[in-house]
Chains A and B, each alone.
Chain A
Amino acid sequence: MTGPIGSRSSSSSRTGSRSTGGLDNPAARIMFRRVGGVVCALLIWELFSETGVINKSALPTPQATAVAFVHNLSGLGRGALGTLDAWGLGLLAASVFGVAIGVVVGRSRVADSLTETLVRMMRPLPSLALIPIAILIAGLGLKMTAGLVSFAAFWPIFINTRVGVRQIDNLILETGRMLGMGRLELIRKVVIPAALPMIATGVQVAISLALVVTVSVELVGGTGGLGQFVLVAQQGGATATMYAGIILGGMLGWALSMGYSRIVDHWIPWRSRGQVTTS
C-alpha cells in the first residue's frame, strides 16, 4: 500500500519522508516537478491536437476543452451530483452489508468455509456484465444504479472484512475477554476496530470500483449523471464538451480517493503503526 505514487496510500508520512529527505530535495523542487509534470502533459496534449496526429475532431485542444468546461458548468454540476448520488447510496449499502456479513462470516469457521468457494467464484466475475440484467429486473433509474453499485462494491468490502476479522490476533481477543467484555461488546469494541485497517482498504477499493460501475450504468442506460452527460456530448458531436465531462470525472475520482485517504489517515492512525493482525 505504500510507495512512491500514492496520494491515496495510507502512510503519506512515509511517502512524504521518502521524497522530502535530504537537502538536495527540498519540498519546493518536488512541487515544481509535480506542477511541471501537469504542464508538460497539457503541452503534449496541445501538440497532439494541433499537429493532427490524432484526428482533431477526436481530440480538441486543451483550450477548447477548458472553454467547453466553463460553458457547461451547470450541466456538469448536475451530472456530477447525479453520479455522486447513486455512488454514495450504493457505497453506503455495500459498506453496511459488507462489514456486517464479513464480521459474522469471519468469526465463524463454518460460515467462512461455506463462503470460501463462492467468494473465489464471485471475485473474477465482472459485475458490469450484470448491467443488462439489472436493467431487466429493476428498470432504469437510481434504484437500479445504486443496487448494482452496491452489489459490485460489496465484494471488496466483504472480502477484506472477512480476512481482517480472521487475522485478528488471539491475544487481543483474550485481552477483551479479560476485561470482561461480552460477545457483542467484544465485536463492537475489539473485533471491528482491530479489523478496521483491512476494512478501510476494502472500502478504498470499493470507492473507485463504485464510481466505475456508476458511470458505466449511466453510459449504458442513460440514467443521468456524468456518464449520460459524456454520452450525450459524444452523440451530439460536441467533442470538447465530452472531454470536459471526462476531465470532471477524473477530478471527481481523484478528489474522492484523496479525501478518503485523508480521512483514513486521520481517523485510523493505527492502520500503519499498530499491528494487530498476525499476518
Chain B
Amino acid sequence: MVEPVLSVRNLQVSLRSRDGSVNQITKDVSLDLMPHEFVSIVGPSGSGKTTLLRSAAGLRPPSGGQVLFEGTPVTDVPKGLSIVFQEYNKSLFPWLSVGKNVAVGARELPVDEKNQKVSEALAHVGLKGFENRYPWELSGGMQQRAALARAMVSDPSILLMDEPFASVDALTRNHLEDVVLALWSESKFAVLLVTHDVGEAIYLSDRVLVLSARPSTVLAEVKIDLERPRNQIGTRSQARFAELHAEVLERVEAAGRLAVGIDGHVD
C-alpha cells in the first residue's frame, strides 16, 4: 500500500490574541495527501485555511494533533516541502536577482548542477532571460512564477500553495493555473492548495476538501472525476464541471450559513 506523503491528524490550532483570549482556529482537521496527488482546500473566509497550511508546513506549532511528513512528525519545515505564498512581493528576496532567488532553493547543490537546475526551473515557468532582473522589476504574475520556480528547483515531494493567485488579475491567473498544472503533471510532487476560488480548486484538483467556519473541521470531501489533461476552456465548459462547481459551492455556502447559525455572524 502507498503511504501518504503528508498526513494531518486531528490538527488543532489556537491563537492567543493580544488581549489574552484564546482563539480556536481549527478544531479537528485530518487529511492525507498521497504522492503526486493534487488536493485543494476551500472554505468560507476566516475558516483557518491559511493557519492550517502553515501548521502543515511546520511554520506554526499546532496546539493539538500531529502532522506527519513521509511518516515522520513535523517540527520545523521539512526538507522536500516547498511553499508558495500569496504575497509574492514579500516572499521574493528583493536584494537578489530572479536567478539568485531561485538559486537559494538549490543552494546545497554543486555550482554546475545548481546553475543547470535554476535555468531549467526558470525555463519551465517561462522566465528564461529574466535571470538578472530584480523581482521588483517584474509584473505580479512574473514574480509569482519566479516564486514558483524557486519552490520547484529543489525537487520537493510536496508543494503547498496559499492562495497563490489571489493577487493577480484574472487572465494572469488562468495562465498561472496552467503553469502549475503543467509543472505538476511533468513531475512527481503532490500539491496541497488553499484557495477561496471554487472553480480554480475544481479545475486543478483530484480532490477538494471543504472546511467549516471557525473553529474548523473538514465538512466534506468531493472527488473531482474530470479527465486529464485539462484545459481552461474545454474543462470548464463541461457539464460535469458545472455539477461539481455547484456541489462544492453549495457545501461552502452551507458552511458559511452554519457559522451564522451558531455565532450570529460570519467572521
Do any CB atoms of chain A lie under 8 A from CB atoms of chain B in the complex?
A: yes
A residues contacting B by CB (< 8 A) are 169, 171-172, 174-175, 177-180, 189-190, 193-194, 196, 268-270, 273-276
Is B76 within 8 A of A270, CB to CB? no
A273 to B94 CA separation, bound complex (whole angstroms)? 8
Is B90 within 8 A of A193, CB to CB? no
Is B57 within 8 A of A178, CB to CB? yes
Q: Are A274 and B76 CB-contacts (below 8 A) given A175-B91, A179-B104, A193-B93?
A: no
List, in ascending order, chain A residues with CB within 8 A of B85's CB: 171, 174-175
By beta carbon, the residue of chain B nearest A272 is B136
Indicate if B105 sits at the interface (CB-CB under 8 A). Answer: yes
By beta carbon, the residue of chain B nearest A172 is B90
A212 to B136 CA separation, bound complex (whole angstroms)? 37
A172 to B150 CA separation, bound complex (whole angstroms)? 14
Interface size on B, residues (CB 8 A): 24
Is A180 within 8 A of B77, CB to CB? yes
Give the residue of B76, B94, B105 whose beta carbon is less than 8 angstroms from that of A179: B105
List, in ascending order, chain B residues with CB within 8 A of A275's CB: 89-90, 94
Return the 3 tightest CB-CB contacts between A and B, nearest first.
Answer: A274-B94, A270-B94, A193-B95
List, in ascending order, chain B residues with CB within 8 A of A193's CB: 93, 95
Q: Which of B7-38 contact A (CB under 8 A)?
A: none
A178 to B76 CA separation, bound complex (whole angstroms)? 9
Indicate if B121 sits at the interface (CB-CB under 8 A). Answer: no
Is B134 within 8 A of A269, CB to CB? yes
Indicate if B82 sits at the interface (CB-CB under 8 A). Answer: yes
Having A171-B85, A171-B90, A270-B136, one finds 20 other A-B pairs with CB under 8 Å, namely A172-B91, A172-B93, A174-B54, A174-B59, A175-B91, A177-B59, A177-B77, A178-B77, A178-B81, A189-B104, A193-B93, A193-B95, A268-B95, A269-B134, A270-B134, A273-B136, A274-B95, A274-B135, A274-B136, A276-B90
CB distance from A156 to the nearest CB of B (A): 22
Indicate if B83 sits at the interface (CB-CB under 8 A). Answer: yes
Q: Which of B88-128 contact A (CB under 8 A)?
A: 89-91, 93-95, 104-105
Is A178 within 8 A of B90, CB to CB? no
By beta carbon, the residue of chain A nearest B76 is A177
Is B134 within 8 A of A169, CB to CB? no
Indicate if B87 sits at the interface (CB-CB under 8 A). Answer: yes
List, in ascending order, chain B residues with CB within 8 A of A276's CB: 90, 94
A270 to B137 CA separation, bound complex (whole angstroms)? 10
Indicate if B265 sits at the interface (CB-CB under 8 A). Answer: no
A193 to B90 CA separation, bound complex (whole angstroms)? 13
Indicate if B228 sits at the interface (CB-CB under 8 A). Answer: no
A175 to B104 CA separation, bound complex (whole angstroms)? 11
By beta carbon, the residue of chain B nearest A169 is B90
By beta carbon, the residue of chain B nearest A175 is B91
List, in ascending order, chain A residues with CB within 8 A of B90's CB: 169, 171-172, 275-276
List, in ascending order, chain A residues with CB within 8 A of B104's CB: 179, 189
A169 to B135 CA separation, bound complex (whole angstroms)? 17
Is A171 within 8 A of B87, CB to CB? yes
List, in ascending order, chain A residues with CB within 8 A of B134's CB: 269-270, 273-274
A100 to B204 CA separation, bound complex (whole angstroms)? 47
List, in ascending order, chain A residues with CB within 8 A of B150's CB: 179
Give the residue of A178, A194, A270 whose beta carbon is less than 8 angstroms from that of B59: A178
CB distance from B198 to the nearest CB of A (A): 26
Interface centre among A178, A194, A268, A269 (most CB of B within 10 A): A178
A196 to B91 CA separation, bound complex (whole angstroms)? 17
A177 to B93 CA separation, bound complex (whole angstroms)? 13
Q: Are A178 and B95 CB-contacts (below 8 A) given A171-B90, A172-B90?
A: no
A189 to B95 CA separation, bound complex (whole angstroms)? 10
List, in ascending order, chain A residues with CB within 8 A of B54's CB: 174
Interface centre among B76, B85, B90, B136 (most CB of A within 10 A): B90
